[in-house]
Amino acid sequence: MVLTKEQLNHYKRHIIIPEIGQEGQKKLLDSTVFVYCENTDSLRPLAYYLAALGTGRIFCDLKDRRGADSLFAEVIDLNNDTAIDYLHENNYAKDFSEIHDIEKNRPQNSYRIVLGNLNFIKRLAAKLLNDEFIPTIISVNSQWKGTLQTFQNEEMFKNLIDSLNAENTENSSAFLANALSSTLCAIECVKLCLNIGNIKKDMLFFDLFNMEFNQTESNANLFKFLDEDNSMDIKHILADAKVLIVGTGGLGSPAAYGLTMAGVGNLGLLDFDKVEESNLNRQVLHSFSRIGMSKSKSAEFLLKKINPNINIETYITELTKNNAEKMFSKYDVVIAAVDNIPTRYLINDTCFILNKPYAEAGVLRFDGTATTIIPHEGHCYRCLYPNVNSSNLSVDNGVLGPVPGVMGFIQAAEAIKILSGFGKKLKNKILLFDSLEMDFNIIDIDRNPQCPTCGK
């Protein structure tokens, strides 16, 4: 047996995916990732998803270490298979000196992630170029925008670093673009480690404000792209906002985290389930120490630790026709973060009756979908899926841990745009995400005039 009995249960949603299996999970457990981030807040979502995947060792180079020790404890509680520490030569030597020449080489099956704004990465340039080259993922972000590119070739990596040094720029990173970048970087790490899919050799540009995703072979437009970011002060709007998240699992965890970091003042967390070991490969608000606890209460515990000022109301109950309208009526926006069709229909119909906008998403294996539904203005969920027989759908499907993270952060971005009135939303559109290709495709959809919920 490649994995222990406990690990088989812990990672079963990974193991049942043929491209991963036990052998692939073992490779992840034996991998090492070197992370360069500006501070604890920028590191947190990346550390969560790397640990949830089962990354064996994470070494962190942080400009600002405040709060990092507490974060490291959270990461180990999320997955005690993962070791996380600062990137010190002394610690590094202690762990690997017996089998590696630490002055010249990194451990085998090791990767590097560089995540932050342009100025931070420029300040790292000399250090990055002097280190022994290993496959490197770089994500630059600012406010609503970000980029992603993976380098297996040292010359291409040096070309990018040189181009960054040639420009004088001023920009600052923001939590939501950083959070999405983090999950994308974690996915690229899996693909490098397991040699599956196609890594992002060309630069991916994403803009959550306008919900646009593009890629190019050239980084010539990088500075203009980030410099033209949309920034506005919406904290006063978000402070009074009320968002209900139905489900605090793979989708609900990142959505709740994103809204908490954004400054949404009031969250409702609805989930009837309890934390299980098999949840922890993707549901990053939970942990080993809270197995058996209500997911709503477990999520509240960590969110209040991150932001003690947020108001959270938990609902440890099953969503039904009898209680849906009463609960939904208290909130401005709903996030549907559930894994079954009947509950999706119930959320859709209730939001239509109450005229409540909501963000919907779904995931399976390496793929995800997302859409935003504004009642009486565009399509609804039944327009997309008018008659799905849920009895034919398996509830024990595999899913790569960071994929629901990508979709959940997109749901959080959509909720913020609904609340603020700014930006382009996924109304009358559906976003399709293929993580193996790192491809985002947005297609237009029409309202169905024969829809049993919103049709004539």
> What amino acid is encoded at 328 in this protein?
F
- Tell me: pLDDT of 171 over 60: no
Residue whose pair of structure tokens reads 């906002």 in the numeric block: 241
Looking at the structure, tell me whether residues 122 and 264 fall in a common domain.
Answer: no
- The secondary structure of 106-125 as a DSSP string is PPSSEEEEEEE-HHHHHHHH
pLDDT bin (cut points 50, 70, 90) of residue 448 is confident
Domain boundary among 209, 227, 245: 227
Cα 182 from Cα 49, distance rounded (Å)? 8
Name the pTM for this structure: 0.93
Look at residue 380 and give its three-state secondary structure: coil
| Predicted local distance difference test score (pLDDT) of residue 162 | 79
Residues 207, 417 contacting (CB under 8 angstroms): no
pLDDT bin (cut points 50, 70, 90) of residue 436 is very high
Q: What is the mean pLDDT of residues 439-449?
A: 92
Q: What is the mean pLDDT of residues 113-130?
A: 88
Q: Evaluate whether residue 69 is within a structural domain.
A: yes
How many structural domains compose the chain? 2
| Predicted local distance difference test score (pLDDT) of residue 172 | 54
Q: Evaluate whether residue 84 is within a structural domain.
A: yes
Looking at the structure, tell me whether residues 71 and 209 fall in a common domain.
Answer: yes
| Predicted local distance difference test score (pLDDT) of residue 428 | 94
- Tell me: pLDDT of 65 over 90: yes
- For helices 402-420 and 175-194, angle between their N-to-C axes, nearest 10 degrees: 160
DSSP state of 193: H
Residues 404, 280 contacting (CB under 8 angstroms): no
Cα 210 from Cα 206, distance rounded (Å)? 9
Q: What is the mean pLDDT of the chain?
A: 89
Closest CA to 308 of 260, 341, 269: 260
Six-digit token pair at 68?
């990092």
| Predicted local distance difference test score (pLDDT) of residue 292 | 97
| Predicted local distance difference test score (pLDDT) of residue 99 | 34
Q: Quick count: other Cβ atoms within 10 Å of Cβ 300?
A: 21
User: Which of the pair, 64 or 90, is modelled with greater confidence?
Assistant: 64
Q: Evaluate whether residue 296 is within a structural domain.
A: yes
| Predicted local distance difference test score (pLDDT) of residue 219 | 64
- Tell me: pLDDT of 185 over 80: yes
Residues 305, 261 contacting (CB under 8 angstroms): no
Domain boundary among 170, 201, 227: 227
Cα 352 from Cα 330, distance rounded (Å)? 15
pLDDT bin (cut points 50, 70, 90) of residue 97 is very low
- Tell me: pLDDT of 357 over 70: yes
- Tell me: pLDDT of 2 over 50: yes
Q: Evaluate whether residue 62 is within a structural domain.
A: yes
Range of the domain at 264: 235-390+397-444
- The secondary structure of 34-84 as a DSSP string is EEEESSHHHHHHHHHHHHHHT-SEEEEEES--TTHHHHHHHHHHH-TT-EE
Rounded (5°) CA angle 287-289-295 = 55
pLDDT bin (cut points 50, 70, 90) of residue 404 is very high
Cα 130 from Cα 122, distance rounded (Å)? 14
> What amino acid is encoded at 332 in this protein?
D
From residue 194, give the alpha-carbon distance in Å to each of 30, 220, 279, 349.
11, 31, 22, 42
Looking at the structure, tell me whether residues 188 and 332 fall in a common domain.
Answer: no
Domain boundary among 227, 260, 284: 227
CATH of the domain at 118: 3.40.50.720
Cα 99 from Cα 108, distance rounded (Å)? 10
- Tell me: pLDDT of 96 over 80: no
Backbone angles phi, psi at 202, to 5 degrees: -85, 155
| Predicted local distance difference test score (pLDDT) of residue 119 | 87
pLDDT bin (cut points 50, 70, 90) of residue 101 is very low
pLDDT bin (cut points 50, 70, 90) of residue 289 is very high
User: Which of the pair, 448 or 430, is modelled with greater confidence?
Assistant: 430
From residue 131, give the alpha-carbon distance in Å to each of 90, 115, 236.
16, 17, 44
Q: Evaluate whether residue 18 is within a structural domain.
A: no
* Rg for the chain, CA atoms, rounded: 21
| Predicted local distance difference test score (pLDDT) of residue 454 | 81
